Every structure is written in structure tokens, then in C-alpha cells.
Amino acid sequence: MTQAVNVTITGGAGQIGYALAFRIAHGDVFGPEVPVNLHLLEIPAGVRAAEGVAMELDDSAFPLLNSVHVHDNARSAFDGTNMVAFVGARPRSKGMERADLLEANGGIFGPQGTALGEHAAPDVRALVIGNPANTNAAILAAHAPDIPAGRITAMTRLDHNRAVAMLAKKTGAPAAAITRMSIWGNHSPTQYPDLFHALIDGVPATEKIDDHEWVAQEFVPRVAQRGTEIIQARGASSAASAASATIDHLHDWVHGTPKGDWTSVAMPSDGSYGVPEGLMCSFPMRSINGEWEIVQGLEISDFSQGYIDISVEELKQELKIVEELGFTPGL
């Protein structure tokens, strides 16, 4: 039998955690051969609910679920962990400014980064979902300097999937026919969903969509604002689709992106496409031998560059705020 992997979910009793834990326990990330020890980290007020989630996981009798543990401190939750989904975060409450939100989350992701760096397994892979995801991931990475840069990522896979779904709906093609979609920048309304390199059944999407008006007025803003649209409809932010995107990201990281395709991931920039080195920015990304690699050599039009510049500027501003608050030593 293959050795079990340790997977930690922070915010394990929340909406996303509730959907995610069952998919991981079912084997949707590592596959049908790899047993999983699941660790749910919660704040003290969430521990009882996390214990309830653990009971339900037990009751599901998943063949691959080796054990479930509930933690109220990051050190034990990250001890020997191979993979962490950072879902728990401080949500924006009424009257809260962006700087307040960044400060509150800096207070979470700073100490969690230190605990991750000190206790995780050497091969740990981390994905930040909790918002503001890119900058939370930057804070985490700054506090875990011994973890290689590409091992701490932030999620733009949900935006990627939304862009694929919207293009599929527009053209009548199945989602599976669409490849090479790209999300650039921040997981925020400034993100840039880029269909100019996308293919539909191997044919450039631009050959089927020559309606530039639709791209600029409908596709880009609708994908970028989809999170808000869901909140308005559901009265709560996306959860099952966010958990599903988390699975997609982690699965592709472990198993590789399909041949000829790529996905979108926020990772520290290596300077590609003029994005400042170290900035936790989303790029088109391939997973090769368990590592993310930025897709190189794409031609970026002035139209696309204008959007990318705005989102990169927002990321720089967010980082400047957390730097001033003292949350990113070493960046």
C-alpha cells in the first residue's frame, strides 16, 4: 500500500472546507492509490463544528481516508503536512477598508507562514484560497523563507474555470473543448481573463468570436465580477465551485496539466511578461513533474497589456500596504 499523505485544510468547518474535505477524502487530488490523513484547522469557535465535519467524514467510510484530526493550533495542524489548502481567512465586514482587511489577514497568514515553515514536510505544497488570496499568499511565503518560492501559490483556478464556462456558453462548445485559457493578475475584479490564446477544439477562439465588443463589455467584466454576482444570488460567496477549483488546482499540480493545455495559477513572478519579480501574480501555467512553470512566449496585445498593468498595479499596492504594516519581512 502506498504511504498516506497528510493534507491540511485551514477553515475546515467553513463553507468551502465542508465541500473540499469530502472530495480530498474521496481521492480526487492524489488518485485511487493514495491514502490520506486529513487535518482540519479551525479557530477555537469553529472547533466544535469541525468535529462535526470529522464525524461525517468518518461516517462516509471513504476507503482512502486513513484518519481525520481536528486542530486549534497551526503548529500541530502543519506538523509533517504535505499539502495545505489555506481557506480560513478574515472576511471583509461592513465599514472595513481594504487596509483593515489586509491587516487582519496579515495577523493570520504571518503566524501560519511561520508555523508552516517550521513544521511542514520538506515537499509541502500550499494553495491560498482565503481572500485577498494573492497577498495572503505573499505574506505566508515571506514568513516561510525556506519553502521554495513555487511551492506557495494562490488560487485563480476558479476564475479560469469561470472564463472557460462563459466562452463555452457563448460558442455552444462543451467546456472540455476549450483549452489555453489564461487569467492574469490578482484574484479580484481587476483580474484579466484572456481568451486571445484560447482554442476551441484546437481552433483559435478568436476565429469563432470576432465580436470584440462582447469580449470587452461582457466576457472580461463578467468573469472578473462573477464572485460578486454569486454573492448577490446566494447571499454567500461561492463555495462548491471554489472547492471544485481547489481540487482542479491541486490535482493538476500533482498529476500535471493535460498535454497541449495549460491552466492559471498565482505564483511569485520570475520577471516574465514584465511582472516585477516576486509579485504573487496569476499567469498561464503548466504543471510539469510536480512544479508549476509559467507559459512563455505568448504575444500580448496592447488591449490585453492595459488590463494586465492595472491588475499588477493593484497587487503592488496591496503589497505596499502589508509591507508598511510589517507583514512581509524579506520581500
Q: Is 98 annotated as a binding residue?
A: yes
Residue 91 C-beta: closest distance to ligand LMR, Å:
7
Residue 53 C-beta: closest distance to ligand LMR, Å:
20
Considering the candidates 39, 71, 187, 251, report the single residue annotated as catalytic: 187
Count of residues that bind ligand NAD according to CB under 6 A: 27
Q: What's the rounded Cα separation, in Å, for the pair 198 and 296?
A: 15
Please give the DSSP secondary-structure letter assigned to residue 73.
Answer: S
Residue 300: C-alpha distances to residues 194, 198, 257 (Å) = 10, 13, 22
Contacts 24+ apart (CB under 8 A), 171-175: 171/200, 171/205, 171/208, 171/209, 173/200, 173/201, 173/208
Q: What's the rounded Cα separation, in Å, for the pair 265 and 282?
A: 5
Total number of residues shown for the chain: 331
* Binding-site partner at residue 206 among ligand LMR, ligand NAD, none, CB < 5 to 8 Å by type: none
What is the crossing angle of helices 98-119 and 133-142, to 10°? Answer: 40
* Binding-site partner at residue 63 among ligand NAD, ligand LMR, none, CB < 5 to 8 Å by type: none
Q: What's the rounded Cα separation, in Å, for the pair 243 and 246?
A: 5
**187 noted as active-site residue:** yes
Q: Binding of ligand LMR at residue 230 (CB under 6 A)? A: yes
Phi and psi at 77, nearest 5°, equal: -65, -30
**Does residue 130 contact residue 112 with C-beta atoms inside 8 Å?**
no
Q: Is 308 exposed, middle or buried (0-12, 13-18, 19+ CB in 10 A)?
A: buried
**Peptide bond preceding 132 in cis form (omega within 30 of 0):** yes
Reduced to 3 states, what is the DSSP secondary structure of residue 5?
A: strand
Q: Binding of ligand LMR at residue 237 (CB under 6 A)? A: yes
Candidate ranges 2-10, 20-28, 40-48, 230-238; the one touching ligand LMR (CB under 6 A): 230-238
Q: Is 12 annotated as a binding residue?
A: yes
Q: What's the rounded Cα separation, in Å, for the pair 72 and 296?
A: 42
Q: Is 274 annotated as a binding residue?
A: no
Q: What's the rounded Cα separation, in Å, for the pair 324 and 331?
A: 12
- Pick the closer one to ligand LMR by CB: 101 or 300: 101
Q: Binding of ligand LMR at residue 14 (CB under 6 A)? A: no
Q: Which of residues 147-176 bind ligand LMR (CB under 6 A)?
A: 158
What is the per-residue binding string for ligand NAD in 28-47, x denoting contact by CB under 6 A?
-------------xxx--x-
What is the per-residue binding string for ligand LMR in 96-135, x denoting contact by CB under 6 A?
-----------------------------------x----
Q: What residue ranges bind ligand LMR (CB under 6 A)?
A: 131, 158, 227, 230, 237-238
Q: Which residues are annotated as a binding site for substrate?
A: 92, 98, 131, 162
Q: What residue ranges bind ligand NAD (CB under 6 A)?
A: 10-11, 13-17, 41-43, 46, 87-89, 91, 108, 129-131, 133, 155, 158, 187, 237-239, 242
Q: Which residues are annotated as a binding site?
A: 11-17, 92, 98, 105, 112, 131, 162
> Which positions are catalytic?
187
